[in-house]
Amino acid sequence: MKIGLEIHVQLPTRSKMFCSCPTTDADAPNTHVCPTCLGMPGSKPVLNKKVLEYGIKLAKMLGCTIADTTWFSRKTYFYPDMSKSVQITQYDNPIGYGGMYYLNGRTPIRITRIHLEEDPGKTKRVGELSSLIDYNRSGIPLAEIVTEPDLKTPAEAREFLGQLIQDIRHIIDLPGDGERSIRCDCNISMGIERCEVKNVTGLKNVERALTFEMVRQTKILKAGGKIDRETRRFDEERGVTISVRKKEFEADYGYIDEPDLGIYHVKELANSIKIKESPLNRSVRLSKEYGLDEKTAKQLIATSMELTDLFEEVAKATDVQTAKTWIAGVVSANWKAFECRCSEHLEQDSTRNGILEIICKYKAGEITDTECSLEIKAYMTGKDPESVQTESSDLDSIIGEFLIANPEIIEDYRKNDKAINKVIGYVMKRAGGTYSSTDVVCAAKKLLQEKI
Amino acid sequence: MNMQSVLSSLEKTNLRYSMFNDFLKNGEQGNSKFLFSAKDNLTSKDFETCSGSRILEGYHPVFDATAIAKMREAGGKLIGKTNMDEFGFGTFSTNSGFGIPRNPFDLERSCGGSSGGSACAAAVLEDHVSLGVSTGGSICCPASFCGVYGIAPTYGRVSRYGLIDYGNSLDKVGLLSAKASDLSKYLPIISGIDEKDPTSCVQPKLDLKKEKIRNIAIPKEAIDGLSKDVMTAFQSSIDTLKGMDIDVKFIEMPALKYAMPAYYVLATSEASTNLARYVGMRYGHQDGDLSLKFDDYFTYFRSKYFGDEAKRRILLGTYTRMAGFRDRYYAKALNVRMYVINQYKQIFNEYDAVLTPTMPFVSPKFEDISKMTPVEAYKADYLTVPANLAGTPHLSVPCGYDGNGMPIGMQFVTDHWKEDLLLTMANEWDHTFDMKRAEVSL
Ligand SMILES: [Zn+2]
């Protein structure tokens, strides 16, 4: 089985690709529009240079060759939501081509190309006879990433897409709902002919659509049938793909160079752009450098890049084991609260330094581990140390008593760390609401670790 | 004063010459400093803009073209939108959806195209300047046929914002006027970089006091196929130029004969994509059965409202960029274009300007035009197309009259950004040449 993906990423510019209309959600249809994105006669596209920058960043992330000069093309086709019946896209020389992405840092997935293009408007069916068109989306910048058919299973495709999205979000600072702004065309072939499932949104749906196709195509082949080359769409509600059109004839878009825009010499720009380390590369590096297992590394990164920064800082200031114990423990448990409390300053090291100092004090033997834990918690949540201490000693004694009454749990925990759930369940039942779940988990873990 | 009299007689004048699609009725001059008109493919807020096509009938743009806006800022009053071949497709202004402008020297003859209405207005109205647009010769051709001055600047000198595209990599906004001095007066006004059009360039400022044209090259290839009257007028003009202390030499310029096919491939390729947006949905004219499937509706609408020449060019342009033909036609034409530019560059290393007649014959009668095949009509542009393909500036000046009193023009081409040479030439020529104005009787 061969699976290739075409991934459309909405680039997070503030204005559209070729005009100054905003890209934010509009209150009403056709309010974020102007002569250019409506394709009015005489209007001209003016490229938002940010789009090139984002394109270069993604091309670098994907290990693509970046063209020294790049330009745009016109793709002609007739559809009501296309304001000019012409889409400005890249054809001859995309911003990047010939890249490689290593799934889990190991499995190579070849990247055919990445190109930049404008989104068309949106059509909405109203009843049987009419359609309404909203051009607010018309001209929103997209990057399209095309992979070679190197993915082998629907699950692998999902994993790939998940990692890719996380990396993309980090590299070009996609907003939190980044997954929504990513659409995917999935190509799948079990034999010779391939089918394309257009416009699938979300990781889960990509896997569902591909799995459905896998089963459908296998059945046909087993029965001695032939797969038709065609375009299909995914019905999210029913979980099935439906044929849209047979591809007996390939559409001819009659590409020409976009004459309203010039040629862009991007060599210097490309050289000047440095990209951040992608989350995937970082987790690979963390495993190598600190001997972290893959799962812990990914968890750290998934929680927050700043938490991962802190991990590295602590590891350098003390040692890897200390960093692991504290960062993966109490610091990680209180991270969300910490983020909420000082969201704006998190990127500044000074805020994080407080935690580093406390851990260093512990490492130097100035405070006990209980004190260290309390201080970190007090620092991160902004509560006063006294109440943190009372809370946690209360919590400790509740758990301690429970463990004394139920020693078999400790035995269980040795073999299966899920045994902790009994402790958590008990505390929540007895004193539900008084303590936050992260506190309970943290304290239970700590006491169980001490007992085994 | 004559501004007011031009305004009050506009309706009557137009009845005779059909030069406007839409114009000011009972206009007052107010505090305007001058009157101007603009080709109907330049958008303006106060007039209908149809680009000569019925497919845009009733279209009122929401913005002014930059060239029009700049003329207004300079104190100009826009009095009307001039008639033209549909989307600029033609050499005689006979392909308009809204009547045919008539040559001021002979009402049975063409004004030339596609800025025919603009040339007519320049010839007929007192003290008038008109904004024209050239893609393959659409300023120089009508200037020559109507006996006025016309200049098409370097591609990128004047913003194309608000210009309804024909061939975007070729289209240029320029000027037509009976007064040579108007070209120097208004070209600097409409020039300059415009952030709304990325192809309007950072450019050298026009320096009108700079040097003049000292030597001129005439390609031998340009002399083939001229009518007798044009040849005679051209030869005597060469003598006049020599008398003005200008060196004139005949040269070979083989690129001239390849320019035409390359031009038609590029222009129609681009045109066919530009015209794709006219589907009866968003602006201009609308009618038909809305319950049809969208592609059936689009087909119905485009079949009904595009003129024959527009359809011909859409088909030609779609063909040349189709998969399988693209390399043979579109990509090849891009190469030929480079070849033509390089040959001009070589000539400009030695000469200040290339000179040819503007059109190979004087304005033909409408009855003769109707007998021409499309290819014959396309061939008439062989002298104006090369400079347009190269994006070099060019100027047509009146240089003689045939036995029927029909004007004859000649065309100077200079290197990119050397419009100043052309403008000085126009003014000098104006002092030497005895220009005849058409008899205007209402
Ligand atoms: Zn817009």
- Between the CA of A142 and the centroid of ligand 1 the distance, in Å, is 15
- Least-confidence region, from A169-173, B91-95, B260-264: A169-173
Confidence class for position A352, pLDDT limits 50, 70, 90: confident
Catalytic entry in B138, B177, B184, B272: B138
User: What integer best gives the mean pLDDT of chain A?
Assistant: 88
Residue to test with chain A: of B51, B277, B278, most A Cβ within 10 A? B277
Q: CB A78 to CB B323 under 8 A?
A: no
Q: If you count them, how many residues does chain B have?
A: 442
Task: Using DSSP bridges, classify how beta strands A256-257 and B247-251 pair: parallel, antiparallel or unpaired.
Answer: unpaired
Contact at CB, B61 and A42, closer than 8 angstroms: yes
> Among residues B274, B202, B199, which one has the least CA distance to residue A46?
B199
Query: Which residues, including other chains, have CB under 8 Å from residue A94's CB and lie 6 or more apart?
Result: A67, A70, A113, A114, A115, A116
Q: Inter-chain contact A40–B42, Cβ cutoff 8 Å?
A: no
Cross-chain residue pair B277–A35, CB shorter than 8 Å: no
pLDDT value of position B441: 73
Share of chain B above pLDDT 70, in %: 100
Ligand 1 centroid – CA A47 distance (Å): 12
Residue B85: helix, strand or coil by DSSP?
Answer: coil
Q: In the structure, what pLDDT confidence band is assigned to residue A347 with cuts at 50, 70 and 90?
A: low
Query: What are the CA-CA distances from residue A393 to residues A429, A435, A446, B121, B367 (Å)?
Result: 18, 12, 12, 96, 107
**With pLDDT > 70 as the criterion, what percentage of chain A qualifies?**
95
| Nearest residue to A118 via CA among A146, A86, A96 | A86
| B271 class by beta-carbon count within 10 Å (0-12 exposed, 13-18 middle, 19+ buried) | buried
Give the pLDDT confidence of A75-84 residue by residue, as tens digits: 999 999 999 9
| pLDDT beyond 80 at B115 | yes
> B235 CB contacts (<8 Å, ≥6 apart)?
none
Residue of chain B whose alpha carbon sits nearest to that of A88: B273
Tell whether B338 is within 8 A of chain A (Cβ). Answer: no
Burial A149-164 (b: 16+ CB within 10 A, else e): bbbeebebbbbbbebb
**pLDDT tens for residues A69-105?**
999 999 999 999 999 999 999 998 999 999 999 998 8
**Rounded distance, CA A413 to CA A448, Å?**
8
Mean pLDDT of A329-355: 76
User: What pLDDT was estimated at residue A430?
Assistant: 77
Any A CB within 8 A of B66 CB: no
Whether the CB of A128 is below 8 Å from some CB of chain B: the reply is no
Tokens of A145: 């990433």
User: Is residue A248 scored above 60 in pLDDT?
Assistant: no
Nearest to B52 by CA among B307, B302, B262: B307
Number of Cβ within 10 Å of residue B183's Cβ equals: 25
Task: Tell me if B273 and A44 make a contact (CB, 8 A cut-off).
Answer: no
Q: Which residues are paired to B412 by β-bridges?
A: B355, B395
Chain B: give the shortest CA distance to residue A353, in Å.
47
**Mean pLDDT confidence for A167-189:** 81
Collect all residues of chain B within an 8 Å Cβ-Cβ radius of residue A46. 195-198
User: Is the pLDDT assigned to residue A442 strictly greater than 80?
Assistant: no
ipTM score assigned to the predicted complex: 0.94
**Helix/strand/coil for B35:** strand
Chain B residues with CB inside 8 Å of A125's CB? none
Long-range contact set of residues A389-392: C-beta below 8 Å, sequence gap at least 24: A391/A435, A391/A439, A392/A439, A392/A443
Cβ-defined contact of A45 to B291 (cutoff 8 Å): no
Average pLDDT over residues B317-345: 96
Residue of B123, B176, B174, B125 lying closest to B146 (CA atoms): B123
Joined together, the tokens standing for residue B310 give: 């527009």
List, as ranges, residues 397-436 from A with C-beta within 8 Å of B. none
- Of A42, A83, A254, nearest to B322 by CB-CB distance is A254
Touching check for A260 and chain B: CB below 8 Å? Answer: yes
- Whether the per-residue pLDDT at A54 is higher than 70: the answer is yes
Predicted confidence at residue A348, as pLDDT, reads: 62
**Which of B281, B321, B323 lies at the smallest CB-CB distance from A80?**
B281
A47 — contact with chain B (CB < 8 Å)?
A: yes
User: In the structure encoding, which two tokens stand for residue B135, read together?
Assistant: 């893609």
A64-73 exposure pattern, b = at least 16 Cβ within 10 A, e = fewer:
bebbeebbbb
- For tokens 């045994």, the residue is A419
Q: Residue B324 and residue B329: Cα distance in Å, rounded?
A: 10
A174 to chain B nearest CA, in Å?
28
Residues of B in contact with A127 (CB under 8 A): none
Residue B396 and residue B139 in contact, taking contact as beta carbons nearer than 8 Å:
yes
User: Using CB atoms, which residue from A46, A85, A254 is nearest to B277?
Assistant: A85
Q: Quickly list H helices, B165-307.
A: 180-190, 228-243, 256-274, 294-305
Look up B114 and say whether it is catalytic: yes
Nearest to B411 by CA among B176, B162, B151, B160: B151
What separation in Å is there between the alpha carbon of B162 and the centre of ligand 1?
A: 15
Query: Distance, CA A141 to ligand 1 centroid (Å)?
Result: 12
| Residue of chain B whose alpha carbon sits nearest to that of A36 | B196
Give the pLDDT mean for A244-265. 85
pLDDT at A247: 63
CA of A37 to the centre of ligand 1 (A): 4
Chain B contact present for A249, CB below 8 A = no
d(CA A39, CA A87): 10
Q: Which of A7, A23, A264, A213 is nearest to A112 (CA)?
A: A7
pLDDT at B179: 97
Smallest Cβ–Cβ distance between B63 and the set A35, A80, A254 belongs to: A35
The tens digit of pLDDT for each residue in B36-66 reads 999 999 999 999 999 999 999 999 999 999 9
Q: Which residues place a Cβ less than 5 A from the ion ligand 1?
A: A 19, 21, 34, 36-37
Span from the CA of A8 to the centroid of ligand 1 (angstroms): 20
A5-29: pLDDT as tens digits: 999 999 999 999 999 999 998 889 9
Handedness of CA B310, B314, B315, B319 (dihedral sign): positive
A264 touches chain B (CB under 8 A): no
pLDDT attached to residue A208: 96
Residue A64 near residue A26 (C-beta atoms within 8 A): no
Residue in the block written with tokens 């927050």: A304
Query: B62 and A79 in contact by Cβ < 8 A?
Result: no
Instruction: Give the closest of B65, B197, B321 to A256, CB-based.
Output: B321
**What is the Rg, in whole angstroms, of the alpha carbon atoms belonging to chain B?**
20
Determine the residue among B163, B171, B282, B303 to mutate to test chain A binding: the one whose Cβ has the most chain A Cβ atoms within 10 Å: B282
pLDDT tens figures, B286-316 = 888 888 888 999 999 999 999 999 999 999 9
Smallest Cβ distance to B198: which of A44, A130, A255? A44
Chain A residue numbers with beta carbons less than 8 Å from the beta carbon of B196 are 44, 46
Q: Is B289 on the interface with A (CB under 8 A)?
A: no
Cα angle, residue B386 at apex, residues B383 and B389 outer, rounded to 5°: 145
CA–centroid distance, A139 to ligand 1, in Å, is 7
- Burial (CB < 10 A; 0-12, 13-18, 19+), residue B249, is exposed
Name the CA radius of gyration of chain A, rounded: 27
Structure confidence by residue, pLDDT tens digits, B213-251: 999 999 999 998 899 999 999 999 999 999 999 999 999
Return the residue of A nearest to B51 by Cα. A41
Active site residue B39: yes
Contact call for A254 and B318, based on CB within 8 A: yes
Nearest-by-Cβ selection for A42 from B43, B318, B334: B43
What is d(CA B262, CA B169) in angstroms, rounded to the nearest whole number?
13
